[in-house]
Structure 1
């Protein structure tokens, strides 16, 4: 599976995953023209995108959805998140359906996308597991204030694209209003470095998994700090970066 992180952070998020001859986007949170440019930079034609899957309707995840109308790309989102998404042609709107509380998978021919519940202050946010018929399984988890056991079960795979948004001490010492601090640190906010590290210690098996730390706060985190926190936690489990897994901070 080819992973191209076109944008990551509070200014916008967009990931291209290419597998089984198809490219899908997870979120489209930067301007349409920037998505087009960055796709071409990684040798992906914008008119070749199979589908766009939205995690939630906040602007840093949906700003570039006019791309869908231009190229006729189906856009998948939950019933709740469609409440906050406008400007997508009706013919391109796809709703992620549930059955007995779980989301139905989306079959794209050679690759299956499994949505799962996350925890954020939006209508009905989700993460995604992307599983080709042949090849490694990837999961994408953005904006979530916590990771529960159901999420961890869905996230098992070989490629982890997960937010490491903030350092809790940096948030506490920041100039953010108390209400914003409380939101970021809440169960409906964002993952801290420590939360992400703890989840990865449950998921990583030392079989060469690829980890991408994403959605870092520009104010309340540092790439070196996020990287060091995760590496230290995995080292305590006996796993070394470059030997048992590979890590990239985006």
Structure 2
């Protein structure tokens, strides 16, 4: 698995949001985002010791993590949450997803609140974390849009069966960390039980390469955006297939990888 990429994107002069993909895929997901002196994690889906090791490999101490934000309570997004207790890190999740999360000390538990049916922004230093609804077979899953004070905006969308107009509005930015989970033909031809195939392909399952490509066609405007394709299925996808599907779709809109945007595939 490819991990711990030291990748940066800058829109504001002299400012960056640093992205390190610590884990990606069906075995676990964890992303570190850093701006200024603040680092947050989006999900903690591999063992605590692996997160500690991979943070150190990219120059971040675990006790420097300011907060952990959970997309949903499935194990491949929460397995490493004992990290929070060890280093006294606040953990944020929706009310529904807290029902499926255990083992986090009560004083570290923070609920992502809603007002007028929309999630409230969480402020962590100069980071503004904006949760938004996604579509997955969990109780109350979310994605996150993370802004800094310099105009940078990073969007994280892991497990979702489709992308609607409200999501697209929240996803606008200059860094995209998004799942490209499967190729539908590979799912259909695979050896999973029919019930599992139906779950993956449903509107509350996972994004196919084509769905991800279609969303990026509507989001990318050729201003040097950075795209990370994540959460690829080891059985139902191939990195080259995911990469080529997205590049082909964006070429149709006039954008060329390396010229108008950059693309990394994490598998």
Whether 2:181 is the aligned partner of 1:169: answer: no
Whether 2:33 is the aligned partner of 1:17: answer: yes
3-state DSSP of counterpart to 2:20? strand
1:134 positional shift? 1.4
The count of corresponding residues between Structure 1 and Structure 2 is: 250
1:136 positional shift? 1.6
1:135 positional shift? 4.4
3-state DSSP of counterpart to 1:171? helix
1:28-48 per-position Cα deviation (integer Å, ceiling 9, x unaligned): 000000000000000000000
The structure 1 segments of at least 4 consecutive aligned residues displaced by more than 6 Å after TM superposition are none
Q: Which runs of 5 or more residues in structure 1 are unaligned? A: none
1:2-13 maps to which residues of 2 (within 5 A)?
A: 2-13=18-29
CA distance in structure 1 between the aligned counterparts of 2:86 and 2:39, rounded to whole angstroms = 17
Aligned to 1:196: 212
1:100 positional shift? 1.1
Whether 2:235 is the aligned partner of 1:219: answer: yes
Using structure 1 for the length normalisation, give the TM-score. Answer: 0.99
CA distance in structure 1 between the aligned counterparts of 2:97 and 2:90, rounded to whole angstroms = 15
Judge conservation of contact 1:17–1:23 (CA < 8 Å) in 2. yes
3-state DSSP of counterpart to 2:161? coil
1:124-143 per-position Cα deviation (integer Å, ceiling 9, x unaligned): 00000000011421000000
Judge conservation of contact 1:20–1:111 (CA < 8 Å) in 2. no
Whether 2:68 is the aligned partner of 1:52: answer: yes
1:80-121 per-position Cα deviation (integer Å, ceiling 9, x unaligned): 000000000000000000011100000112110000000000
2:123 to 107, 110, 113: 107
Aligned to 1:81: 97
CA distance in structure 1 between the aligned counterparts of 2:258 and 2:96, rounded to whole angstroms = 40
Judge conservation of contact 1:27–1:55 (CA < 8 Å) in 2. yes
1:111-130 maps to which residues of 2 (within 5 A)?
A: 111-130=127-146
1:4-52 per-position Cα deviation (integer Å, ceiling 9, x unaligned): 0000000000000001320000000000000000000000000000000
1:164 positional shift? 0.0
1:151 to 167, 179, 190: 167
CA distance in structure 1 between the aligned counterparts of 2:195 and 2:92, rounded to whole angstroms = 32
